[in-house]
Structures are given as structure tokens and as C-alpha cells.
Amino acid sequence: MQTDHLIIGLTGGIGSGKTAASDFFSEQGIPVVDADIVARQIVEPGQPAWQAIREHFTPDVLLEDQTLNRAWLREKIFQDPEERTWLESITHPAIRSEIIKQLNQPAISYTLLVSPLLFESQQHTLCHRTLLIDVPEKLQIERTSQRDNNSPEQVEAIIRAQMSRAERQIRAHDIILNNESREKLYQACLDKHRDYLTLAENYKMIRITDRDSAS
């Protein structure tokens, strides 16, 4: 995707600290597009995806306030893979379209796309560079169990359902190992932020040169 500014994709498994990392970049004034937030926005009452889901599953899929009954929907698509495929055929294009729209908003330097499924969803193809917040699996389980009050077995099941740590490491351009303190994570993010500012400036100059050559 061609934009006037650099797009950095940030990802990581559950409990990796990607939210803390994205919050840090945001505090540096970097616009953040969060795929999870977009996924909720596109199914808000009245949105086209919400309407399609309502018509397909009948009003049983809605709560009294007309928002999606996510527990009911999760159970439905868990029991029927074809229903899951249908749901993804509605939501995935809508999510991608809204992400592209938000990524194209003006930015002084670069924009961050945060997505836990950056590679699985092919959203990395919207980015010029990707950053993985990496953490050993044992630490993932400890952090997530303490944060969400889930059992280690539940967390392990979530991890197994996601792309493997090794596969993410292979695919990512940049990696921050987040196995120490929050301060260490912030320092590593600051180092990457400085690198990305330089890359963003170079990218901007290339885009200007390309436009001048085409005119």
C-alpha cells in the first residue's frame, strides 16, 4: 500500500506487552491504528457488517442494547466452522478497509498499526516494516494468568491457537525482547522510535522525489 508516510506494524502474542509498547509510541506523538478497536467499530449498531450479521443470525445475535452478543456468537461459530467462515468473509474485508482508511490519515512522521494477528490476517502487507514484541512462552503464561485470572491451561490453549513464537520471529523485521522490566521495554521502544523517525524522513524524501519525477 502506498502512503505519504511510513507505516510500522507492531505485533506480539498474548501477554507480550504489545499494548504497553504501543502506548509508549502513542505518548511520543505517533498515531496508532489498533486493529482490535477497528474490529469492534465495524460491528457497532447500524454499521453494514452489524446489519449483515443481524440478518444472517437473526436478532438472537443481539443483546437488549442492540450490540452483538459476543458470547452467543463465539459459541455459534465454534460449533459450526462454516458459520465462522461466513462471519470472517463479512468482517475481515470491513476491518481491512477501515484500517486502510485510518492509515491514510496524515502523519508527521510515521503511523503504527497494532495487530495481534498482523501476519495471520495479512495486515503486514499494509506496512513498510514490522516490529515484534517478543517474550518467552513461560513468561507469557505467568503474565496473562496474573492479569486476566485465567488458568495456565487456558493461557496455553490461547497460545497454541496463535502463530508460533518462532514463526513471528522469522517474519518480523525488528524484535524487542520484553523479558525484563517495563523501563527496559520503554528504552528499547525509544531506540526503535528514533530509528523509525530516520526511516520516516528518508521515506518521505523518496516519495517527494518520485512525485517530482512523475510530474
CATH number of the domain encompassing residue 144: 3.40.50.300
Same domain? For 12 and 98 the reply is no
**Is 15 labeled as ligand-binding?**
yes
Q: Which of 72, 104, 136 is the last residue of a domain?
A: 104
* Residue 215 within any structural domain of the chain: no
Per-residue confidence (pLDDT) for residue 117, from 0 to 100: 92
Residues 6+ apart with CB under 8 A from 141: 15, 152, 155, 156, 159
Same domain? For 88 and 121 the reply is no
Same domain? For 92 and 171 the reply is no
Domain that residue 77 falls in: 39-104
**CA 56, CA 41: separation in Å to the nearest integer?**
19
Same domain? For 136 and 194 the reply is yes
Same domain? For 71 and 165 the reply is no
**Is 192 labeled as ligand-binding?**
no
Per-residue confidence (pLDDT) for residue 93, from 0 to 100: 94
Rounded to two decimals, the pTM is 0.89
Could you tell me how far CA 90 lies from the centroid of its own chain?
18
**Is 13 labeled as ligand-binding?**
no
Same domain? For 25 and 117 the reply is yes
Q: Which of 104, 120, 153 is the last residue of a domain?
A: 104
* Residue 164 within any structural domain of the chain: yes
Pairing of strands 110-114, 6-11: parallel
**Is 26 labeled as ligand-binding?**
no
Could you give the 3-state DSSP secondary structure of residue 65? coil
* Residue 139 within any structural domain of the chain: yes
Q: How many domains does the chain have?
A: 2
Per-residue confidence (pLDDT) for residue 214, from 0 to 100: 67
pLDDT mean values, one per 10 residues, the chain (215 residues)? 90 93 98 96 96 94 94 88 93 95 95 96 96 93 81 83 92 97 97 98 85 67
Same domain? For 97 and 114 the reply is no
Q: Which of 104, 127, 157 is the last residue of a domain?
A: 104
**Is 76 labeled as ligand-binding?**
no
Instruction: List the one residue out of 129, 133, 124 whose CA is nearest residue 13.
Output: 133
**Is 145 labeled as ligand-binding?**
no
* Residue 177 within any structural domain of the chain: yes
Instruction: List the one residue out of 122, 133, 107 whose CA is nearest residue 18.
Output: 133
Per-residue confidence (pLDDT) for residue 170, from 0 to 100: 97
Same domain? For 205 and 115 the reply is yes
C-beta of residue 113 within 8 angstroms of C-beta of residue 102:
no
Same domain? For 100 and 116 the reply is no
